Amino acid sequence: MQLTTVGKEVFRGAQKARELQEAGAGDPTVQERLRKLKQVEALRKYRVGWPEIQELLGISRATYYRWRKHLKEEGLAGLKPRSRRPQRLRRRIYWSSDLLIRVEALRKENPTWGRWPIWLTLRKEGFAVSERTVGRILAYLEAHGAWKA
């Protein structure tokens, strides 16, 4: 029985292919950004100015330097598009059901009342709520069909 082994080069090639895949080398966005980086470098070698580069490639000078920095620090993975979602989002505030019911009842009893008279009545009844919150509740109830405007 004869045993054959696969050479080190094959394993290294497979490992490199896995690394490139994880880095996003197959991602069209990464390829496009890498292509633009190379084009900018070629144009800069021939002393083409930034206004012409921006017109030709559609990227700003700041974008070029940012992409170049990310490529240098993180490799191809640095050219992947990053999330633009804000890190902190305002949490949704849930109002108590008795507050919603009371605001709706006051508005139906007094259709001409706005947020201020309703807020004043709620405050007298012991609800700790701001005038602006009453306005938000009224807008919410109107949007969800509690009554017609």
Distance CA 75, CA 20 (A): 10
Residue 110 maps to a domain? yes
Structural domain total, the chain: 2
Residue pair 56/43 in contact (Cβ under 8 Å)? The answer is: yes
For residue 51, what pLDDT is reported? 94
Do 17 and 72 fall into the same domain? yes
Residue 148 maps to a domain? no
Considering 51, 79, 107, which residue would you say is the last residue of a domain? 79
Residue 67 maps to a domain? yes
Nearest to 138 by CA among 126, 130, 127, 146: 146
pLDDT digits (tens, 9 = 90+) for 39-52: 999 999 999 999 99
Do 27 and 65 fall into the same domain? yes
Do 73 and 113 fall into the same domain? no
Do 72 and 19 fall into the same domain? yes
List of the chain residues with pLDDT < 50: none
Residue 37 maps to a domain? yes
Do 18 and 58 fall into the same domain? yes
Distance CA 41, CA 27 (A): 22
Distance CA 30, CA 23 (A): 9
For residue 145, what pLDDT is reported? 81
Residue 105 maps to a domain? yes
Residue 69 maps to a domain? yes
Residue 84 maps to a domain? no
Does residue 149 sit in helix, strand or coil? coil
For residue 3, what pLDDT is reported? 58
Distance CA 90, CA 132 (A): 16
Do 72 and 20 fall into the same domain? yes
Do 74 and 41 fall into the same domain? yes
> Which amino acid would we find at residue 15?
Q
Considering 50, 79, 108, which residue would you say is the last residue of a domain? 79
Q: Give the DSSP letter string of 5-39.
A: ---HHHHHHHHHHHHHHHHTTT-HHHHHHHHHHHH
For residue 90, what pLDDT is reported? 82
Residue pair 57/40 in contact (Cβ under 8 Å)? The answer is: yes
By residue range, what is the domain housing residue 127?
97-143
